[in-house]
Amino acid sequence: MMNSKNTDMVEIAGWVHEIRDLGGIRFLLVRTRDDIVQITFSKRKVSSELIDKVKTISRESVIRVKGIISKDERAPNGFEVIPNSLDILAIAKSPLPLDPTDKVVAELETRLDQRFLDMRRPKIKSIFMIRSLVVRAIRDFFYKKDFVEVNTPKIVSIATEGGAALFPISYFDKEAFLNQSPQLYKQILMSSGFERVFEIGPIFRAEEYSTRKHLNEATSIDIEMSYADDNDVIRLLEELIIYIYRYINTNADRYLKTIGIDLKIPTRPFKQVSYDEAIEIVNLEWGDDFGSLEEKKLGSVIGEHYFIREWPLKSKPYYTMPLEKDRKILSKSFDLMHPRVELASGSQRINDYELLKKQIEMRGLNLDNFSFYLDAFKYGMPPHAGWGLGLDRLIMTMLDLDNVREAVMFPRDRRRLVP
Ligand code: ATP
Ligand code: MG
């Protein structure tokens, strides 16, 4: 909505959200990006030419109105607009494949099929207005902490962690893949002396998921930090989560209200359990991984954001720093958990060339494929640590969404390649 110099003249452009016809008077609710404004066409105050024109408009058509603001307690924002002019910018066909007024609730699949219409709904649009502000908060946070934003390649020659499912693509005469994580590149950047890097970018996983928390294309917030250990990057992650929650509470109040969320800011420090303590709580054998059931049980016992630390070395990728404790081979690794789902994984990394080589070989991976990575460890690699945090899961848990796909504008899953 644009206020012109003349105090109560306004120009409004948007979609016709609702039409209410009371015989002598017709109300149009016009939906702009952030508002719903009532335009009142009454025979007493509006020319008969406009009255005739407004009758030709279908719901969800795009119009532009210029008019005068007038207070009215009954209107959505406490005011209505009495129009002087009306431009019909685009007529919408009917019937609509999806109702953008929240009066009819459609299944998620139907909504995703018609995502452009689904996102016209104020509640759904608010999710993405908040997602944008979350990304802004993240950049804000890292620039304040002296991090460098980087972009690493998404077309790569090998799997980051070996074995895991990758999407193959054709790259001229070579075999290539979509990257599953920026891990190797952000580590290489430590050897180049960038000290603190972050990247917000896509990661691709080619598994045939059928869960509420997995996407085939996700967005990851990845960091790597030199002269840091696992404790340092755990603290940084805690700080970031709280920074984001505070930022959203302060800057996205109207969107939270539209969704109906009362955002509780987590308290620091987050609880920490060791892997050994965690398997005790859910009755698993040493070496087992937590399934969805166990994650749920841990979440209900602990009840808020928490870390699981010191995982068995063999449960974590080859670049993870080993830790010997009570004659067990553990690692300087951690997962950040929300009671519903894993949000992030991280660790201190191996920075010693010989040890890294040994770990890659021990996992049965072919050293030759890793030479571009290993070279960066030969000529002076500082100690470093980092993590990867899933943006989509962060939004899903913040906004209490049922399914991670609701946190993505155009999700990619097992069956969905369009829109
Ligand atoms: P999970 O065990 O839950 O499948 P992961 O341990 O394979 O996750 P990581 O490789 O540790 O995932 O990636 C770091 C973070 O990126 C995860 O904690 C998660 O938030 C996010 N992430 C990873 N894979 C996906 C995915 N397929 N869909 C959505 N988010 C993902
Ligand atoms: Mg993980």
Total structural domains in the chain?
2
CATH number of the domain that residue 260 is part of: 3.30.930.10
Q: Note the pTM of the prediction, 2 decimals.
A: 0.96
Residue 85 lies in a domain: yes
> Which long-range contacts (C-beta less than 8 Å, at least 24 apart) are formed by 173-180?
178/154, 178/204, 179/152, 179/153, 179/154, 179/155, 179/203, 179/204, 180/204, 180/205
Residue 217 lies in a domain: yes
Q: Which two tokens stand for residue 277?
A: 């303590």
Show binding-site residues: 161, 205-207, 213-215, 342, 345, 349, 390-393
Q: Which residues pair with 178 in a beta bridge?
A: 155
Q: Nearest ligand to the C-alpha of residue 165?
A: 1
The 10s digit of each residue's pLDDT in 365-418 is 999 999 999 999 999 999 999 999 999 999 999 999 999 999 999 999 999 999
Looking at ligand 1, which residue's alpha carbon is closest to its atom 8?
Answer: 342
- State the distance from the centre of ligand 1 to the C-alpha of 23, rounded, in angstroms: 57
Q: Which two tokens stand for residue 238?
A: 């805690």
Is the separation of the CB atoms in 118 and 86 below 8 Å? no
- State the distance from the centre of ligand 1 to the C-alpha of 366, rounded, in angstroms: 24
Residue 351 lies in a domain: yes
Show binding-site residues for ATP: 205-207, 213-215, 342, 390-393
Q: Which atom of ligand 1 is nearest to the CA of 344?
A: 18
Domain final position from 90, 106, 141 = 90
Is residue 70 domain-shared with residue 129, that is, in the same domain?
A: no
Reply yes or no on whether the pLDDT at 162 is more than 70. no
Domain final position from 72, 90, 108 = 90
Is residue 74 domain-shared with residue 16, that is, in the same domain?
A: yes
What is the arrangement of strands in the sheet containing 271-274, beginning at the earlier edge strand? 148-149, 196-204, 217-226, 384-390, 341-348, 333-338, 306-309, 271-274
Is residue 54 domain-shared with residue 184, that is, in the same domain?
A: no
Mean pLDDT in residue range 9-28: 95
- State the distance from the centre of ligand 2 to the C-alpha of 337, rounded, in angstroms: 10
Residue 169 lies in a domain: yes
Q: Which atom of ligand 1 is nearest to the CA of 164?
A: 7
Show binding-site residues for L-aspartate: 161, 205, 345, 349
Is residue 68 domain-shared with residue 177, that is, in the same domain?
A: no
Q: Which atom of ligand 1 is nearest to the CA of 388?
A: 14
Q: Which amino acid is at 22?
A: L
Return mean pLDDT, the chain: 95
**Banded model confidence at residue 334, pLDDT cuts 50, 70, 90:** very high
Residue 107 lies in a domain: no
Is residue 81 domain-shared with residue 127, that is, in the same domain?
A: no
Mean pLDDT in residue range 119-141: 98
Is residue 120 domain-shared with residue 84, that is, in the same domain?
A: no
How many alpha carbons lie under 13 Å from residue 126 in its C-beta half-sphere?
19
Is residue 127 domain-shared with residue 70, that is, in the same domain?
A: no
Domain final position from 33, 55, 90 = 90
- Which helix (H) or strand (E) element contains residue 372? helix 371-378
Reply yes or no on whether the pLDDT at 7 is more than 80. no
Is the separation of the CB atoms in 376 and 193 below 8 Å? no
Mean pLDDT in residue range 142-158: 96
Looking at ligand 1, which residue's alpha carbon is closest to its atom 20?
Answer: 390
| Conformation bin of residue 281: beta by default, left when phi > 0, alpha when psi is -120 to 50 | alpha
Residue 98 lies in a domain: no
The 10s digit of each residue's pLDDT in 179-195 is 999 999 999 999 999 99
CATH number of the domain that residue 84 is part of: 2.40.50.140
Q: Which atom of ligand 1 is nearest to the CA of 393?
A: 20
Reply yes or no on whether the pLDDT at 5 is more than 90. no
Show binding-site residues for Mg(2+): 342, 345
**Banded model confidence at residue 163, pLDDT cuts 50, 70, 90:** low
Per-residue pLDDT, 98 = 94
Looking at ligand 1, which residue's alpha carbon is closest to its atom 12?
Answer: 345
Is residue 149 domain-shared with residue 76, that is, in the same domain?
A: no
Neighbours of ion ligand 2 (CB under 5 A): 345
Pocket of ligand 1 (CB under 6 A): 181, 205, 214-215, 218, 220, 342-345, 388, 390, 392-393, 404
Is the separation of the CB atoms in 383 and 227 below 8 Å? yes
Is residue 389 domain-shared with residue 287, that is, in the same domain?
A: yes
Residue 41 lies in a domain: yes
Is residue 231 domain-shared with residue 363, that is, in the same domain?
A: yes
The 10s digit of each residue's pLDDT in 213-238 is 999 999 999 999 999 999 999 999 99
Is residue 213 domain-shared with residue 304, that is, in the same domain?
A: yes
Residue 109 lies in a domain: no
**Banded model confidence at residue 105, pLDDT cuts 50, 70, 90:** confident
Looking at ligand 1, which residue's alpha carbon is closest to its atom 9?
Answer: 345
Reply yes or no on whether the pLDDT at 3 is more than 60. no
Q: What is the 3-state secondary structure (H, E, C) of 187-245?
A: HHHHHCCCCEEEEEEEEECCCCCCCCCCCCEEEEEEEEEECCCHHHHHHHHHHHHHHHH
- State the distance from the centre of ligand 1 to the C-alpha of 364, rounded, in angstroms: 23
Domain encompassing residue 18: 2-90
Is residue 245 domain-shared with residue 309, that is, in the same domain?
A: yes
Per-residue pLDDT, 164 = 66
